[in-house]
Amino acid sequence: MKKIGLCVFAVALLVFGTATMGETQDALKGAVADIDTGWQKLDIPLLEKSATYFEEMAKKDPKDYQAPYYGAKAHFAIADCLDIKSPEEFDKTGEGDPHVDKALDMIKAAQKLKEDNVDIYILKFHIIRRKMLHVSFPGLMMYVADRKATSDKAKELAPNNPEVEIISAMEVAEGGWPPPPPEKPIAEFEKLLQKDPKLAEAHYQIGYIWEKAKKVDDAKKQYTKTLELNPNHHWAKKQLKGLESGTGT
């Protein structure tokens, strides 16, 4: 009888443990999905909820790289949404800066836990880039080497990943001083479009380069093409609206 009782108890523990694990995985998937939904809908409260979830998760299990990775993603998404919603090119209120700083801290923590995950380096590149857009020249220089090293590591891990190829081309466009003539980085993005003509982000980046070069008509064409391929590309919508209203750069 004792053996039967122990077996029943063991089975009950196994079932309970499996159910608990399943609930945890469902909650994780839900929080990850909330980041994507919140970013797509520019729903900052939903993103803040996800950020809090992953911060708590990171405290409970400091060895799991997923928690700081997704926490960084949620905080970065909040800052990005604030930029998109701003009437200026980027948010100037400073409200997004703490989120960028938190994202940078969390992605560095994720990197220490999982040094061979390419998604970590892709996200880190974008976080550093966002940081660089909001600092003055002396402070800017401290991030240049880190951004380059991040881009190089991503290429080392997954050279044919489309997102890695995008950030590599962005590094050509923005990684040096003085900046190169627009034709040089545009050629890099056009190489990507030869491989995948439906790569909306490549068209957006070309449009952004043309806009900075004051080639408004060329920029509009690229933003329009971006939206044909991805109607939900918020940055292309914003930049095109700015150019059409005469408030763009």
The CATH number assigned to the domain holding 237 equals 1.25.40.10
pLDDT on residue 19: 45
- What distance in Å separates the CA atoms of residue 141 and residue 146, rounded to the nearest whole number? 10
- What distance in Å separates the CA atoms of residue 94 and residue 79, rounded to the nearest whole number? 10
Q: What is the dihedral of CA 228, 193, 155, 201, to 10 degrees?
A: -20
pLDDT on residue 12: 52
pLDDT on residue 249: 62
> Per the domain annotation, does 64 fall within a domain?
no
Range of the domain at 211: 184-249
> Per the domain annotation, does 212 fall within a domain?
yes
pTM for this prediction = 0.88
Amino acid identity, position 162: P
pLDDT on residue 243: 96
> Per the domain annotation, does 228 fall within a domain?
yes
> Per the domain annotation, does 169 fall within a domain?
no
Residue-level pLDDT, tens digit, the chain, 249 residues: 555 555 555 555 455 454 444 556 788 899 999 999 999 999 999 999 999 999 999 999 999 999 999 999 999 999 999 999 999 989 999 999 999 999 999 999 999 999 999 999 999 999 999 998 877 666 667 788 899 999 999 999 999 999 999 999 999 998 777 889 999 999 999 999 999 999 999 999 999 999 999 999 999 999 999 999 999 999 999 999 999 987 666
Over the range 106-141, which residues count as b (16 or more CB within 10 Å of their CB) and which as e?
bbebbbebeeebbbbbbbbbbbbbbbbebeeeeeee
> Per the domain annotation, does 77 fall within a domain?
no
> Per the domain annotation, does 101 fall within a domain?
no
> Per the domain annotation, does 153 fall within a domain?
no
SS3 category, 213: coil
pLDDT on residue 13: 45
How many independent structural domains does the chain possess?
A: 1
